[in-house]
Amino acid sequence: MSNSKIFDEILDQLKVIVGPKNYIDDALKMDAYLSDWRNQFHGASPLILKPLNNQMVSEILALCNENHIRVVPQGGNTGLVGGGVPDDSGLEVVVCLEKMNKILDIDPVNHTMTVEAGCILSEVQDAAHKAKRIFPLSLAAEGSCQIGGNLSTNAGGTSVLHYGNAKELVLGLEAVLADGSIMNSLRRLRKDNTGYDLKQLFLGSEGTLGIITKAVIKLFPIPTNKVTSIVAITNFESTIELLVKLRERSGDSINAFEYMDRACIDVLIDQMDIKDIFDQKYEHYALVEFSSSRHNDNLQLLLEDSIAAEVLNKNVDDAIVASNETQVSHFWNLRETLPGVLKNIGEYVTFDISVPISLLPELIINAKKVCNRIC
């Protein structure tokens, strides 16, 4: 029997595992699963599988492992670097978790939620709010990205300063290994001193160790007090000084600090047909947010006083503190729309890189020098 015939027979077995309504083998219907969000990476696959539960995932991986067929796990496919896209060989099977989208349990007392990996992030956030809690992971793609993808990439999001990366928001995990075995570590304990913390191996592993199928995530009290501002910064070195000073003055209240340079603002103005933020153009900006669940915290005054102090320290040139929810939404829309508008202006390089905060000026200044030299 030829290799191609054997391959086709294995594909048929995979179809039987998930059932007739849970796979795609029509080339015309596969497109959305074979390219990335920016349409920069394109692949090929003979089969898109959409399992309904962990047992199906287990059987899929066991069969593929036994027959040396490569598998590409895929969540919402909102990544910007092609990690969820198969290669162009046409030999990789895509396992899409979008149908494993149940919220299994919400426990407001213990501040936990148990979810399947295919749950859309915004739906998890909404469910938490209905229970008078929040799940603080927040991304521009939260309306379509999935929890499994967020955890497998250890997403940071806009509230990482206050709540940490995704791996700091997980208490328990279920994952299916390459041989089909199921690792169940769906613990809900916040204090757990027992042995190795195996779940941490999977958080940030991008599907290389197995496919995340369920997670127990942490919930937090809803912030009752929030204030947002856009700040024009004197120079890039002042950006770090501003962040340090805001953290010192606010304690644990600083929730977000998002840097944008003039080039970003120019693109937003051009693509969104909006007015400039300030009457004068500046080279450096930061979107700053303080939040607290304590009712008696006067964050408005705290942020205004902090900014005023940094004006005197010559770290800040100008600032606007949002006076209503419409203005807050506008400020955040600028930041969250940026990846989408960049896609409209042609090819660009995107990456997710972490360096110590103190080295950010050196990184960005030197990166711009390299870009200017090449371009």
What is the arithmetic mean of pLDDT over 227-242?
Answer: 93
For the question of whether the overall pTM of this predicted structure is more than 0.85, the answer is: yes
What does the alpha-carbon distance between residue 56 and residue 97 come to, in Å, rounded to a whole number?
Answer: 11
Helices 236-250 and 360-374 cross at an angle (nearest 10°) of 150
What does the alpha-carbon distance between residue 122 and residue 113 come to, in Å, rounded to a whole number?
Answer: 14
Task: Evaluate if residue 165 carries a pLDDT over 50.
Answer: yes
Q: Give the other-Cβ count within 10 Å of 352's Cβ.
A: 11
Q: Please name the CATH architecture into which domain 225-374 falls.
A: 2-Layer Sandwich (3.30)
What is the arithmetic mean of pLDDT over 288-301?
Answer: 88
Residues of the chain with CATH 3.30.43.10: 3-96
Alpha helices in the chain (DSSP H): 3-18, 54-66, 121-130, 147-152, 160-163, 199-202, 236-250, 262-272, 299-312, 325-344, 360-374
pLDDT at 102: 98
Please tell me which residue, 5 or 287, carries the higher pLDDT value: 287
pLDDT at 294: 82
Cα 244 from chain centre: 25
Burial code of 320-349, b = ≥16 C-beta within 10 A, e = fewer?
ebbeeeeebeebbebbbbbbebbbeeeeee
Give the DSSP per-residue string, 312-373: HTTSEEEEEE--SHHHHHHHHHHHHHHHHHHHHTS----------GGGHHHHHHHHHHHHHH
Q: Tens of pLDDT along 169-191?
A: 999 999 999 999 999 999 887 87
Strand partners, 51: none
pLDDT at 13: 98
Q: Tens of pLDDT along 40-53?
A: 889 999 999 999 99
pLDDT at 184: 95
Q: What phi and psi values does residue 260 have, to the nearest 5 degrees?
A: -140, 140
What does the alpha-carbon distance between residue 117 and residue 96 come to, in Å, rounded to a whole number?
Answer: 10
Contact 165, 114 (CB under 8 A): no
Contact 50, 98 (CB under 8 A): yes
What is the average pLDDT score of the chain?
92
Confidence of residue 120 (pLDDT cuts 50, 70, 90): very high
**Which range (95-99, 101-105, 122-126, 290-294) has the least confidence?**
290-294
Contact 302, 250 (CB under 8 A): yes
What is the arithmetic mean of pLDDT over 11-39?
Answer: 94
Give percent of the chain above pLDDT 70: 98
31: DSSP letter: G
CA angle (156, 334, 368) in 5-degree steps = 70
CATH (one of 2.60.40.10, 3.90.1150.10, 3.30.450.40, 3.30.43.10) for 3-96: 3.30.43.10
Task: Evaluate if residue 118 carries a pLDDT over 50.
Answer: yes
What does the alpha-carbon distance between residue 245 and residue 219 come to, in Å, rounded to a whole number?
Answer: 28
Task: Evaluate if residue 61 carries a pLDDT over 70.
Answer: yes
pLDDT at 1: 44
Task: Evaluate if residue 328 carries a pLDDT over 70.
Answer: yes
Q: Please name the CATH architecture into which domain 103-221 falls.
A: 2-Layer Sandwich (3.30)
Q: Tens of pLDDT along 342-351?
A: 777 777 777 7
Cα 48 from chain centre: 23
What does the alpha-carbon distance between residue 214 and residue 175 come to, in Å, rounded to a whole number?
Answer: 7
pLDDT at 40: 84
Dmax (CA) of the chain = 80
**Minimal CA–CA distance to 301: which of 272, 321, 276?**
321
Sign of the CA dihedral 39, 45, 48, 53? negative
Residues of the chain with CATH 3.30.465.10: 103-221
